[in-house]
Structure 1
Amino acid sequence: MTQKYDVLVVGSGPGGYVAAIRAAQHGLRTAIVERDRLGGICLNWGCIPTKALLHGADVAHTLVNLQPLGFSTGSVEFDMGRLVEFSRSVSGRLSDGIGYLMKKNDIDVVEGVARLLDKGVVAVTTADETVSEYRADHVILATGARPRPVPGVIPDGDRIWTYFDALVPTDLPKSLLVIGSGAVGVEFASLYKDLGTDVTLVEMAPQIMPVEDFAVASHVRRQFEQRGIKIHTGASVSELAAGPDTVTVTVQSTAGTVDELTVDRVLVAAGIQGNVEDLGLTELGIEVEHGFITTDQWCRTSAFGVYAIGDVAGAPCLAHKASHEAVLCVDKLAGVQHVRPLDRDYVPGCTYARPQVASLGLTEEQARATGRRLQVGQFDLQASGKALAIGEADGFVKTIFDADSGELLGAHMVGPDVTEQIQGFGIARALEATADDLAEVVFAHPTLSEAMHESVLSALGRPINM
């Protein structure tokens, strides 16, 4: 007998499980289909386990820099396996927590692989090949994404890694070459360097962190190179040969230079592509562009009653963007009034490397291309009492405003704990606060967030502490 639901969600990552919970809160009979573990990539193989490993890297950095604070240590031993075990345990706890949330909200969890048979009709195939059919008034696709392959570079789980492999190494490689310098590549480069690996970073674009403001990317590059990370920009891997113990890599630049490197491991971190295959999209006429499902501002696909949220619906491929889309998508289909569409340009982006990077809105380069008159402010953390007090004064905050309206166009931060501070600018943007409004806000002292205030004052031409 075919089961009938109001909402059926395919995928249980930060988009899928949030969509299911929100639908249940509206009193809609809801089911969620998951082929692997609840929580999707973010909880099991992405956002959360990487942050657990990066915490270990932060501890390693602290241990190396104890002397200025008056501490000394004897011999310190490191066990990569224990750090990986800690990371996996965190993911396991959160995945179990989502199972609890499904039960709490009376959401049916269906294990298996889903495929659309028709509008509102989904077939789910279990591990033992049993096929069950489900019907729903609304089907939300939240199938996520996976690493994008690099031509000629085939991950083998041994010498050539995807980020899945980099999260569960059996030992710490002596040397690592990372292909791609987006958030994933930069985080792993920073992580492994702090743990003692010799790291090389290769990026095709002229700058590392291509989506970030040029000043931020340049600052991170300088910090990385001071730490001993070797960086090749405007370059690509033209040849790669994996042996039993090492990988020989040929790096070719756009300028024509060629370098041959030998490393223990290669990590492919050159972007992601949506999980759009074998979902039955073509048969329903659902549009796919550049490997991602095309949607409108309410997450609706070109097939009535079928929606797509999160990574499978395109950039920015971030967990918090997926969760936000989940809520607005469900609220809209449930008939909630005054739902606001998402402005993807103002979804905050965070990179949890050392130094941390956080940003939202337009870069200075993008803002100048609009032809608007700008007010740009910047405050260096070398002038921040709190940053100096904790020994983390390498960084800055940069703000970009429309000179005529005072509208916040962009905010860019690099330095300690900026990923925890960027939401201040996000709130300001959501409440349509102007530069003058932000200048009137009282920031506590001494805090790292004071740099945000100083950057605004700088944009207005009246900085205090610089």
Structure 2
Amino acid sequence: MSGNTTDVIVIGGGTGGYSTALRAAHLGLGVTLVERDLVGGTCLHRGCVPSKAMLHAAELIDGVAEARERWGVKATLDSIDWSALVATRDDIVSRNHKGVEGQLSAAGVTVVRGTAALAGPRTVRVDVPGAGGAELWTARRGLVLATGSRPRTLPGLEPTGKHVVTSDDALFAPGLPRSVLVLGGGAIGVEYASFHRSMGAEVTLVEAAERLLPLEDADVSRQLTRALKKRGITVLTGARLLDAHLTGAPPADAHRSGTGRSDAGTPGAGTPGGGVAARVQPARGEALVITAERLLVAVGRVPVTDGLNLAAAGLTTDERGHVPPADWATLETAVPGVYVVGDLLPPPSLGLAHASFAEGLVVAETLAGLAPRPVDYAAVPRVTYSSPQTASVGLSEAAAKDAGHEVAVNVLPLTATAKGMVHGQGGMVKVVAEPGPEGRVLGVHLVGPHVSEMISESQLAVAWDASPADIAQHIHPHPTLTEAVGETFLTLAGRGLHQHA
């Protein structure tokens, strides 16, 4: 077994892992990154990037209907060339992948392709395919665990890659289904429900909690649910799956939920060879039998530690499989010199790619002897890329009250602005702050078109403990959607033009 020594070993090449490796290398440390699959991880290859590429295509499809029905542009959607859509998606992913590989190479990071297992607190055994043996690596400064997560599955509902899929393989399943049952109303489930509806499928979205996006502000959930139902998506909240099984080919009218829509364009050709029948118990009434060509299970993710041999380094997981840090400021575990980033972290880490970038920076700078500012998880933006989108940062109204804050709340419909009327998709801006013009901004919650591009201003307001008066002094361009944010703060500051407290 060959032996190698370096300053930092990173296990896992997803967003948390490669950001740690890049920053550490830029700070002059020797870095070895071990990855058994593709650098970039789930986010780049199966999640964030390909799904947002597909959601952009979905937005273009929806635009055809809007052009025809609102603007008099006599356009129709003849068909969807699935192979061309997939090719564009894959090209975007490939170019991003090559970019990350190039950055790692330019930074001097040694990338080892293989499966890692701990052999001690800072020692890693790497089985490299085709190498005829294992490599042993030892870190002088620190070992960073960044092995990510995988979709949670349900007993008896193992993914088939065709009729039962998870978020990791939903975009790569064959063809466009005519009907989809989405189990799970968090961000991932909502995004996939929105995508398939745009592609012409009948969609039923089932969530066990009392509302969609249960971790977001209640007004966000209400606005989103109303918008999704308007698009023809059947939403069942407070509902639970009783059982499900594969079936033969469902008849054309077998999907009992969903209203259909005339503007959906041409649906996909379907997925031949059957589907899924599920019994769902709604919040009220008798159980429903819902049949669909595809069942998408989006009930969360679980940390990946299989085969990592954490015990060899003296590490253990919590009851949900996370590796908790002993120090949230540095993300160092109870074992000195061993750090953790990304989806392996328990709450308050959010399991979001942009949070793991920040975590990677903190760990790398700590290993380089700097004193970075800890990640402020309360100020990490949260986005759902459905149609409409949601974006938020900070505390919901309920969470702020539960934390003991007195709150002042202002809600402004996007349609109260000229640009909101142009888009015609509804939506809102909601600000939760301490009372008075100089009270701290505690949370900002957005629903509407392109609000993912609008949340950064509010992230700064929350992170910097700004007040409505602070934001109100800054001029927002007219006509834009962002001026709705500005007007909301103006009103809380007692200076509203078009809205009064």
Q: TM-score, normalised by structure 1?
A: 0.96
Q: Find the aligned partners of 2:432 and 2:57 in 1 and give their Cα distance.
A: 35
Q: Find the aligned partners of 1:359 and 1:437 in 2 and give their Cα distance.
A: 19
Aligned to 2:17: 16
SS at match of 2:169: helix
Q: Tell me: CA distance 1:74–1:360, structure 2 relative to 1, closer, same or farther (3 Å).
A: closer
SS at match of 1:288: coil
Q: How far apart are residue 462 of structure 1 and its match?
A: 4.3
Aligned to 1:426: 459
CA RMSD of aligned residues (A): 1.5
Check the 8 A contact 2:280/2:289 in 1, yes or no.
Answer: yes
Aligned to 2:361: 327
Q: Find the aligned partners of 2:487 and 2:76 in 1 and give their Cα distance.
A: 42
Aligned to 1:136: 139
1:28-427 equivalent positions in 2, closer than 5 A:
28-67=29-68, 68-73=70-75, 76-128=78-130, 130-137=133-140, 138-244=142-248, 245-255=274-284, 257-289=286-318, 290-295=320-325, 296-297=327-328, 298-314=330-346, 315-337=349-371, 339-389=372-422, 391-403=423-435, 406-427=439-460
Check the 8 A contact 2:64/2:77 in 1, yes or no.
Answer: no
Check the 8 A contact 1:346/1:426 in 2, yes or no.
Answer: yes
Check the 8 A contact 1:396/1:414 in 2, yes or no.
Answer: yes
Q: Find the aligned partners of 1:255 and 1:277 in 2 and give their Cα distance.
A: 40
Q: Find the aligned partners of 1:83 and 1:276 in 2 and give their Cα distance.
A: 34
Gaps of 5+ in 1: none
Check the 8 A contact 1:377/1:398 in 2, yes or no.
Answer: yes
Q: How far apart are residue 373 of structure 1 and its match?
A: 1.4
Check the 8 A contact 1:379/1:458 in 2, yes or no.
Answer: no
The amino acid across from 1:71 in the alignment is V
Q: TM-score, normalised by structure 2?
A: 0.90
Check the 8 A contact 1:400/1:459 in 2, yes or no.
Answer: no
SS at match of 2:462: helix
Q: How far apart are residue 81 of structure 1 and its match?
A: 2.3
Q: How far apart are residue 256 of structure 1 and its match?
A: 5.9
The amino acid across from 1:111 in the alignment is R
Q: Find the aligned partners of 1:73 and 1:357 in 2 and give their Cα distance.
A: 28
SS at match of 1:117: strand
Summarize deviations over 1:55-87 as a string: whole Å, max 9, x none: 110010011111232321356221122212211
Q: Find the aligned partners of 2:77 and 2:279 in 1 and give their Cα distance.
A: 38
Q: How far apart are residue 461 of structure 1 and its match?
A: 4.7
Aligned to 2:257: none
Check the 8 A contact 1:378/1:459 in 2, yes or no.
Answer: no
Aligned to 1:3: 4
Summarize deviations over 1:181-200 as a string: whole Å, max 9, x none: 11110000000000100000
Check the 8 A contact 1:80/1:170 in 2, yes or no.
Answer: no
Q: How far apart are residue 306 of structure 1 and its match?
A: 0.8
SS at match of 1:27: coil
Q: Tell me: CA distance 1:434–1:127, structure 2 relative to 1, closer, same or farther (3 Å).
A: same
The amino acid across from 1:332 in the alignment is T
Among all aligned residue pairs of Structure 1 and Structure 2, give the percentage whose two residues are the same amino acid: 36
Q: Find the aligned partners of 2:442 and 2:127 in 1 and give their Cα distance.
A: 47
Q: Find the aligned partners of 1:144 and 1:60 in 2 and give their Cα distance.
A: 33
Check the 8 A contact 1:384/1:393 in 2, yes or no.
Answer: no
Q: Find the aligned partners of 1:254 and 1:413 in 2 and give their Cα distance.
A: 28
The amino acid across from 2:133 in the alignment is T
Q: Find the aligned partners of 1:403 and 1:15 in 2 and give their Cα distance.
A: 38
Aligned to 2:266: none
Q: Tell me: CA distance 1:103–1:52, structure 2 relative to 1, closer, same or farther (3 Å).
A: same
Q: Find the aligned partners of 2:76 and 2:160 in 1 and give their Cα distance.
A: 39
Match among 440, 456, 459 for residue 473 of structure 2? 440
When the two structures are aligned, how many residues end up with a matched partner?
464
Q: Find the aligned partners of 1:333 and 1:302 in 2 and give their Cα distance.
A: 16
The amino acid across from 1:385 in the alignment is A
Q: Find the aligned partners of 2:12 and 2:275 in 1 and give their Cα distance.
A: 37
Runs of 4+ in 1 over 6 A off after TM superposition: none
Aligned to 1:27: 28
Q: Find the aligned partners of 2:321 and 2:128 in 1 and give their Cα distance.
A: 26
Q: How far apart are residue 457 of structure 1 and its match?
A: 2.4
Q: Find the aligned partners of 1:429 and 1:266 in 2 and give their Cα distance.
A: 38
Q: Find the aligned partners of 1:77 and 1:372 in 2 and give their Cα distance.
A: 53
SS at match of 1:15: helix
Q: How far apart are residue 164 of structure 1 and its match?
A: 2.3
Summarize deviations over 1:185-238 as a string: whole Å, max 9, x none: 000000000010000001000001111100010111011111110011111111
Summarize deviations over 1:415-452 as a string: whole Å, max 9, x none: 01110110101122233321211111111111111111
